[in-house]
Amino acid sequence: MKPGRVVLKHMTTISRLLMLAVALVAVATAASSGLADSTPVGPLPPGPTSTIETQKGQLVAVALPRKANGRVWRIARAFNSKVVRQVSEANVGQNVVLVFRVVGNGTTRLVFGLTRGERAKAFEARRFVVRAQ
């Protein structure tokens, strides 16, 4: 008999549930720590706002001009994930294209800030209001 099987055979149901709970907490902690790594984008300068009217199930693409000198576009404010969810991001020609799937009805704002790397200062801003019916 293998030693690993003996240990599992003699574990109580409570011990197994406790091990499962510890594993789930570890996975949840690892997943949430990836979201909290970035420095928040600070105050945003004025910038253009576009409105997009769409329907549930559609894809919405946002193209932002790629910039030099280490400047990157970042999602600057939280958006309603009950309305849209980001599905991809790619450099396409001279643009950064972010694609969102419309998952529910409602309105949300996609707000982007141009920062130097992960710094808080925003040099430019772009805003998109997404209305899904």
Predicted confidence at residue 26, as pLDDT, reads 55
Overall fold of domain 49-132: Immunoglobulin-like (2.60.40)
Question: What residues of the chain score a pLDDT lower than 70?
Answer: 1-37
Q: For the chain, what percent of residues have pLDDT higher than 90?
A: 71
Strand-pairing partners, residue 52, are 130
Provide the pLDDT for residue 31: 46
Would you state the pLDDT for residue 10?
A: 53
> Measured between alpha carbons, how far is 40 from 103 in angstroms, rounded to an integer?
26
